[in-house]
């Protein structure tokens, strides 16, 4: 059985070729320094799925008789069931969305730390 020193000597004694020029740079460019992708895999799947569902729904509305009336009736029933038919609910929803937007636009300066010498 070989110890570590004997193994290092055996590996050093192997007749190895020189690596191609720029191999280290190409490996680093393909792994560590690779540019970030614009979208993630699950985002692409989600966008394609939503586009397919929208296309399917559009085809159903355009090809089926009275489908647009049934779809409109379904949306109206969902709005009523969700409580969005009330003016008060819509006003408070608008106030909440407006407050959330304005709060997200605030820039609060960081505290200055005064270091004592």
Split the chain (117 residues) into runs of 10 and give each run's mean pLDDT: 87 88 90 82 93 92 82 89 85 94 83 68
Please give the torsion angle defined by the CA atoms of residues 84, 87, 93 and 99, in that order, rounded to the nearest 10 degrees. 170
Distance CA 98, CA 96 (A): 5
Closest CA to 57 of 73, 49, 76: 49
Closest CA to 79 of 65, 95, 90, 67: 90
Domain boundaries, the chain: 25-63, 66-107
The separation between CA 38 and the C-alpha centre of its own chain, rounded to angstroms, equals 9
The reported pTM is: 0.35
pLDDT at position 117: 61
Distance CA 16, CA 96 (A): 69
């Amino acid at each position: 059985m070989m110890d570590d020193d004997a193994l290092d000597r055996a590996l050093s004694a192997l007749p190895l070729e020189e690596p191609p020029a720029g191999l280290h740079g190409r490996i680093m460019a393909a792994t560590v320094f690779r540019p970030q992708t614009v979208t993630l895999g699950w985002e692409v799947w989600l966008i394609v799925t939503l586009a397919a569902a929208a296309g399917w729904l559009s085809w159903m509305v355009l090809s089926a008789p009275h489908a647009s009336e049934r779809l409109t009736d379904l949306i109206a029933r969902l709005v009523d069931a969700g409580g969005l038919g009330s003016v008060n609910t819509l006003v408070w929803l608008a106030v909440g969305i407006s407050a959330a937007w304005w709060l997200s636009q605030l820039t609060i300066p960081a505290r200055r730390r005064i270091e004592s010498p």
